[in-house]
């Protein structure tokens, strides 16, 4: 038996091929772990409402004589806090966020003996990190953000 190829059969074959093509992408996006994507923050809208407060806290830090600085050393990352404050008065959180892999994000509470805080090499993986330092001195809250390649 000989099958005759007609233009309606060609349209049906094209549509079925297109549907299979699209469904393969839907399958990959939902079930294959390699294509797992997530938001930077699960509470995106809540974070957006606090954005002006963050800008004000960053501007407070910029207005200081000396702001927080981050330097890469042989031992790791050295975070230097302003010398105008006593180290024992500084408290807060240092947040390391890796946009490519949220499983290696971590936070460190700030407890200082000197105005310098060293984060060891072993704690950090090579690549881009977003660093957010929320610190407080005498009821004044400051914020420092930086993106670094480690």
| Per-residue pLDDT reduced to its tens digit, 102-143 | 788 899 999 999 999 999 888 788 889 999 999 999 889 999
Asked whether the predicted pLDDT for residue 15 surpasses 90, the reply is: yes
pLDDT for the residue numbered 62: 92
Report the alpha-carbon distance of residue 116 to residue 83 in Å, rounded.
9
Asked whether the predicted pLDDT for residue 34 surpasses 90, the reply is: no
pLDDT for the residue numbered 46: 77
Q: What is the DSSP string of 57-112?
A: HHHHHHHSSS--EEEE-SSEEEEE--TTS-GGG-EEEEEEE-TT-GGG-EEEEEE-
Instruction: Provide, rounded to the nearest whole percent, the portion of the chain with pLDDT above 70.
Output: 95
Of the candidate ranges 11-20, 42-51, 62-71, 121-130, the one whose mean pLDDT is the lowest: 42-51
pLDDT band, very low/low/confident/very high, at 69 (cuts 50, 70, 90): very high
pTM of this structure: 0.68
- Could you give the C-alpha distances from 33 to 30, 42, 110, in angstroms and in order? 8, 19, 35
Instruction: Give the position of tokens 């929320």.
Output: 134
Residues 6+ apart with CB under 8 A from 89: 137, 138
Stretch 20-38: mean pLDDT? 83
């Amino acid at each position: 038996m000989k099958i005759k190829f007609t233009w309606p059969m060609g349209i049906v074959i094209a549509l079925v091929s297109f549907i299979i093509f699209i469904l393969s992408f839907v399958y990959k996006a939902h079930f294959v772990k390699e294509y797992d994507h997530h938001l930077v923050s699960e509470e995106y809208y809540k974070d957006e409402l606090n954005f002006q407060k963050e800008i004000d806290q960053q501007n407070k830090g910029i207005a200081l004589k000396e702001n927080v600085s981050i330097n890469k050393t042989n031992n790791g990352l050295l975070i230097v806090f302003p010398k105008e404050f006593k180290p024992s008065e500084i408290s807060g959180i240092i947040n390391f966020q890796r946009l490519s892999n949220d499983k290696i994000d971590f936070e460190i509470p700030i407890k200082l003996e000197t105005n310098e805080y060293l984060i060891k090499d072993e704690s950090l993986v090579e690549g881009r990190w977003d660093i957010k330092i929320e610190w407080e001195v005498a009821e004044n809250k400051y914020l420092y953000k930086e993106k670094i390649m480690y």
